[in-house]
Amino acid sequence: MNNAWRKSMQLKFDYNNMMKAFIGEEGFTEAEIKSNTDLAKSAFETVAANRGKGMMGWTELPYNQKETVEDIIATAKEIKKRFDNFVVLGIGGSALGPTAVFQALCHLRHNELPRSKRKFPKLYVEDNVDPERMAALLDVIDLEKTVFNVITKSGATSETMSQYLIITDMLKARFGDKAKEHMITTTSESRGNLIKLAQKEGLKTFYIPDGVGGRFSELSPVGLLPAAVVGIDIKAMLSGAAYMDKICMRKDLKKNPALLSALLQYLAMKKGKNISVMMPYADSLKYIADWYCQLWAESLGKAADKKGNPAFTGQTPVKALGVTDQHSQVQLYREGPFDKVITIIGVEKFRNEVEISRGCEEFPDVNFLCGHTMGELINTERVATEYALATAGRLNHTILLPEVNAFTVGELLYMFEMETAFCGEMLGIDTYNQPGVEGGKNATYALFGRKGYEQTLKEMQSAPAKQEKYTVTD
């Protein structure tokens, strides 16, 4: 990768349709942006000063993993030789990132291809504890040809550890002492249950750095190992992230897409735009929206600010897919409440192209498509949606990828992470904690009788009993 190629692969951030000049009263003026430059500067300086510290260890992932990356690549080669299936057992960031990158950078029917065309193992990401899902997985894989990657930093994630217990039992029953050849763990090096189990069982293990939380972990071994196993160039991903990092460290607001986007989202929230829609116009990027939903919601949805004052911040992230959701959700986005910001992701050049065949000459409302390509159609519909939203006064902006490849996906992931970090500082909240998640976890522990949660169980038992009159049964 030379500098000219990197420059040609740089993402473009088009925020015309966030401005009053293009969408009217709902938009922002240059004066509004200028009046908030001090806020943006403060957020920038705080993020810059805390790089690599505390829970901002993720900022160093593009640079500090040389030995780990080589180990991952070597491990992936061995897996390719011996196994036909690679199964991720994880939830949240341990699953959403690997899924998003797999969808983005592999053949869209990867698991359905014959091995001669696929060349790499199939990938399954099991991110739920639905018993039917586990049973279905076991119906389609051969344990002899499968390796499992258990991902949990704490080793106490109930969903992942339940999967670990089930699979470990099956592997030991089938392979005895050789069961360890079918399992790899990705966890904390210094604490937690899983590292202790991995050491006891002699499992191959990759480490999640202490300063990297789940939703910021895709560029760590959490995401890099599954990606390498299915043939993705993880060095190019990290290179793309590093390239975007340098862009995001520009002090000039107008030349820093993550900082500018964060400020626009912050200003939108202040105007009551409490929903953030992510709408990629490419099937390959469909699950980027799922990954983004966790990143944005879990990072910014906070009841209190850093000082402990009530805040109730954040936007509700919504995933959509262009053009599919033009036929389901865009009606609401264009004519419903003025409470949304729509982020559109476009691709300038698709990796494949399909020409629309000639025919239907007697039907002008069909024949006009003939001779064009599907790539032209999807991008024309994207531009048309941008226009339709703008003419209805709806805030929207577009991120354009020159093409979808490992480098540009690395850029995109890192840009969203930096945008989230900047926006969290503007909101004055702790971007990296998730106290709201703990309520449901603790209640689950209490209901299962886990030691230490007796008080929670008492509180649940003393809550008002549900009343039959509020339940419809027939």
Could you tell me which of 425, 386, 429 has the C-alpha nearest to residue 262?
425
Residues labelled catalytic = 298, 327, 441
Q: Quick one: pLDDT at residue 152? A: 96
* pLDDT digits 0-9 by tens, 332-354: 999 999 999 999 999 999 999 99
b/e code 74-92 from CB counts within 10 Å (16+ = b)? ebbeebbeebbbbbbbbbb
**SS3 sequence of 364-429:** HHHHCCCCCEHHHHHHHHHHHHHHHHHHCCCCEEEEEECCCCHHHHHHHHHHHHHHHHHHHHHHCC
- Residues 413-424 pLDDT 10s: 999 999 999 999
With b for 16 or more beta-carbon neighbours within 10 A and e for fewer, the 344-375 pattern comes to bbbbeebeeeeeeeeeeeeeeeeeebeeeeeb
Which tens digits make up the pLDDT trace of 202-223? 999 999 999 999 999 999 999 9
Predicted TM-score (pTM) above 0.75: yes
Q: What local confidence, expressed as pLDDT, does residue 373 receive?
A: 97
Encoding tokens for residue 182?
A: 């079918």
Residues 6+ apart with CB under 8 A from 254: 260
Phi, psi at 257, each rounded to 5°:
-60, -35
In the β-sheet with 183-187, what is the strand arrangement from edge to edge?
122-126, 85-89, 146-151, 183-187, 204-207
pLDDT tens track for 30-76: 999 999 999 999 999 999 999 999 999 999 999 999 999 999 999 99
66-115 per-position pLDDT tens digit? 999 999 999 999 999 999 999 999 999 999 999 999 999 999 999 999 99
Confidence of residue 474 (pLDDT cuts 50, 70, 90): confident
